[in-house]
């Protein structure tokens, strides 16, 4: 692995040089194409650095990592070709990288790992977590996953209650509040469980147990002791399920300009406005709502506060709730319209309108100390949620890869099994390398976050792995040929589900430009 380590270090030097080059610009924001590509290149190189230790643990591990590093190097070279000046490259800067890529992108070498997924090297207790969630996913979710997707059904209640009994909703909540998110391995346990459930179904499995994450982190960051003690234990046991109401129709990821308002009245707050892409909002018992409490819009994100809004449960067809009598004397209304989507079904997303919806004073996270700090509280949750999104992507990729291997071994074309063709083997080899490297990168970031570090790396893994999931699921679908386009084969669902990963919880462009690139340029 010494050769790979040397090449990764040279790749990092190229990225660092590009960061210096872009930092020297009077207005780096004017160079969005370079900044975007740089964010993804840096994320890929960071993934390579994170998996070098894994590659040193055995022959199979080493071959997988070499294929992955060569793939990242190839991508870096393609981003810089013809744009050397923009990246601050000197002649010959890529020569050593080309030599490595030539050796380990060789079709025969890549094909050698087509069915070599590699050991995970987990501690026994984490292996038990993985086995337990894989069994549940295989027995309870897989048999119904396609039906939920095709019929756009609600997630069955026995799946929710079964995961609650396993403690799945407490994986992101500190043990002092009834959860299991202690230090070290418990953080890794969360992403292992998320991956295994996402392998069965993104919407009805992996994404389900991420429900408490963003609200829990926001409460931990800014909630009062009373709010933490009341809400976190309920979230940990799934007595209360949460949804997020942050995005608005006209602003998307531009959170600072949100206009949904919360106006103070004598006995609480009145909420008015429209939120969109509120996933799981019908079934949820509470909404984590970001609203403008300062009418002065020039204050941007500093005028936003965070609320925990209680609501009745609805179903996937939409909902309409009225508050007939409230202490404020108003009549409130909350209406949820389902947004039909091509994938990620079971959770359901909604556009929700609020008209004088009353919430009590103690629903404001942090109470008076939380006024104007809602943006920061919810960003704490989103930062932590990014690694879970990466784990979901790994689960979807794993399912697609397994389906492709099975189909390739059992389908004959032009007189031989699809698996016998070099192109098929090369595709599967690249898939196997990307999946294992993404998984090991996730473990690495989990360990960083358990130590209170890894904010940038969490954004990087979300950016890299979610993009990778689109390619893996597309090629798995392609290996199926015409049947990959048929709903009767689950691989079509994996492809549709993978597409949402670079959109939700921070669109890829916003994440790359506003988070990763900015942090790199400030480093």
The CATH code of the domain at 117-239+374-482+490-503 is: 1.10.540.10
How far lies 43's CA from each of 38, 225, 248, 372, 467, in Å?
A: 8, 37, 29, 32, 11
Q: What is the model's pLDDT at position 253?
A: 64
Query: Could you give the CA distance from residue 270 to residue 250 in angstroms, rounded to a whole number?
Result: 21
- HEC letters along 234-257: HHHHCCCCEEEECCCCCCCCCHHH
Instruction: Please give the Cα distance from 360 to 308 (Å, whole number).
Output: 10
Kind and range of the H or E run holding 18: helix 2-23
Angle between helices 225-237 and 211-222 (to 10 degrees): 170
* 177 contacts 228 by C-beta, under 8 angstroms: yes
Measured distance CA(135)–CA(132) in Å, rounded: 5
pLDDT at 255: 72
pLDDT in tens, 264-302: 988 899 999 999 999 999 999 999 999 999 888 777 778
pLDDT above 70 covers what percent of the chain? 97
Q: How does residue 382 score in pLDDT terms, banded at 50, 70 and 90? A: confident
Q: Which of 485, 493, 463 is nearest to 40 (CA)?
A: 463
Tell me how far apart the alpha carbons of residues 264 and 299 are, in angstroms, rounded to a whole number.
Answer: 18
Q: Residue 291 — φ and ψ, nearest 5°?
A: -140, 155
What average pLDDT does the structure give for the chain? 91
3-state secondary structure 270-323: EEEEEEEEEECCCCCCEEEEEEECCCCHHHHHHHEEEEEEECCCCECCEEEEEE
Tens digits of per-residue pLDDT, 435-493?
Answer: 999 999 999 999 998 888 888 999 999 999 999 999 999 999 999 999 999 988 999 99
Q: Is the pLDDT of residue 324 over 80?
A: no
Instruction: Say if pTM beats, i.e. exceeds, 0.85.
Output: yes
Residue 415 has pLDDT above 90, yes or no: no
For residue 144 the two structure tokens come to: 């119904």
* CA-based radius of gyration for the chain: 24
Residues with Cβ within 8 Å of residue 369, at least 6 apart in sequence: 222, 224
CB-CB neighbours of 31 under 10 Å: 15
- Quote the pLDDT of residue 252: 65
Say how far apart CA 112 and CA 389 lie, in whole Å: 30
- Domain topology for 2-105: de novo design (two linked rop proteins) (1.20.1440)
Q: How far apart are CA 93 and CA 116, in angstroms?
A: 33
Helix axes 142-151, 491-500, angle to 10 degrees: 70
Helix (H, G, I), strand (E, B) or coil at 306: strand
Higher pLDDT, 53 or 217: 53
Confidence of residue 396 (pLDDT cuts 50, 70, 90): very high
Q: Which residues pair with 335 in a beta bridge?
A: 320, 353
**What is the pLDDT averaged over residues 219-230?**
95
Closest CA to 209 of 242, 169, 269, 243: 169
Q: What is the pLDDT of residues 228-269, one digit of tens each?
A: 999 999 999 999 999 999 998 877 667 777 889 999 988 899
Q: Which distant-in-sequence residues (6+ apart) come within 8 Å of 354 by Cβ?
A: 260, 271, 272, 273, 274, 275, 332, 333, 334
Residue ranges per structural domain of the chain: 2-105, 117-239+374-482+490-503, 242-372
- What letters, b where the CB count within 10 A reaches 16 and e where it falls short, cover 247-283? bbeeeeeebeebebbbeebeebbbbbbbbbbbbbbbb
* DSSP label at residue 169: G
Catalytic residues: 505
Reported as a pLDDT band with limits 50, 70 and 90, residue 361 is very high
CA distance 250 to 500: 19
Q: What pLDDT does residue 390 have?
A: 94
Going by pLDDT thresholds of 50, 70 and 90, the confidence category of residue 185 is: very low
| pLDDT bracket for residue 184 (50, 70, 90) | very low
CATH number, span 242-372: 2.40.110.10
Length of the chain: 523
For 99-149, write each residue's pLDDT tens digit.
899 899 999 999 999 999 999 999 999 999 999 999 999 999 999 999 999
Q: What is the mean pLDDT of residues 372-378?
A: 90
Q: The tokens of 230 are what?
A: 């009341």
């Amino acid at each position: 692995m010494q050769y790979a380590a040397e090449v990764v270090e040279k790749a990092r030097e190229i990225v660092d040089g590009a960061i210096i080059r872009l930092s020297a610009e009077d207005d780096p924001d004017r160079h969005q194409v370079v900044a975007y590509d740089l964010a993804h290149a840096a994320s890929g190189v960071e993934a390579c650095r994170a998996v070098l230790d894994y590659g040193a643990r055995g022959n199979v591990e080493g071959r997988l990592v070499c294929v992955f590093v060569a793939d990242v190097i190839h991508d870096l070279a393609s981003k810089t070709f013809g744009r050397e000046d923009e990246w601050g490259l000197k002649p010959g800067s890529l020569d050593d990288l080309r030599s490595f890529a030539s050796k380990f992108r060789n079709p025969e070498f890549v094909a050698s790992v087509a069915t070599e997924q590699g050991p995970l090297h987990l501690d026994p207790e984490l292996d038990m977590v993985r086995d337990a969630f894989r069994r549940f996913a295989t027995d309870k979710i897989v048999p119904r996953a396609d039906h939920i997707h095709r019929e756009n059904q609600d997630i069955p209640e026995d799946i929710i209650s079964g995961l609650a009994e396993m403690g799945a909703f407490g994986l992101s909540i500190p043990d002092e509040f009834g959860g299991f998110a202690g230090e070290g391995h418990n953080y890794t346990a969360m992403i292992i469980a998320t991956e295994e459930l996402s392998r069965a179904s993104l919407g009805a499995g992996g994404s389900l147990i991420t429900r408490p994450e963003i609200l829990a982190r926001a409460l931990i960051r800014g909630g009062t002791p009373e709010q933490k003690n009341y809400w976190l234990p309920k979230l940990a046991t799934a007595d209360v399920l949460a949804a997020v109401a942050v995005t608005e129709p006209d602003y998307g990821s531009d959170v600072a300009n949100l206009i949904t308002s919360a106006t103070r009245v004598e006995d609480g707050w009145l909420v008015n406005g429209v939120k969109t892409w509120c996933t799981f909002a019908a079934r949820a018992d509470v909404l984590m709502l970001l609203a403008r409490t300062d009418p002065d819009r020039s204050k941007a994100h500093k005028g936003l506060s965070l609320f925990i809004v209680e609501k009745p449960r609805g179903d996937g067809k939409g909902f309409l709730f009225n508050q007939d009598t409230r202490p404020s004397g108003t009549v409130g209304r909350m209406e949820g319209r389902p947004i039909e989507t091509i994938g990620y079904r079971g959770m359901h997303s909604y556009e929700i309108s609020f008209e004088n919806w009353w919430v009590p004073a103690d629903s404001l996270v942090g109470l008076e100390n939380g006024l104007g700090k809602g943006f920061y509280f919810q960003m704490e949750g989103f930062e932590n949620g990014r690694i879970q999104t990466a784990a979901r992507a790994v689960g979807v990729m794993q399912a697609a890869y397994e389906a492709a291997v099975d189909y390739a071994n059992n389908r004959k074309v032009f007189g031989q099994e699809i698996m016998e063709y070099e192109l098929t083997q090369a595709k599967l080899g690249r898939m196997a390398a990307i999946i294992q490297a993404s998984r090991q990168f996730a473990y690495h970031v989990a360990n960083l976050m358990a130590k209170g570090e890894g904010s940038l790396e969490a954004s990087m893994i979300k950016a890299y792995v979610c993009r990778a999931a689109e390619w893996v699921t597309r090629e798995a679908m392609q290996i199926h040929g015409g049947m990959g386009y048929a709903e009767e084969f689950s691989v079509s669902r994996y492809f549709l589900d993978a597409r949402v990963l670079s959109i939700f919880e921070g669109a890829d462009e916003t994440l790359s430009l506003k988070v990763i690139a900015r942090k790199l340029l400030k480093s």
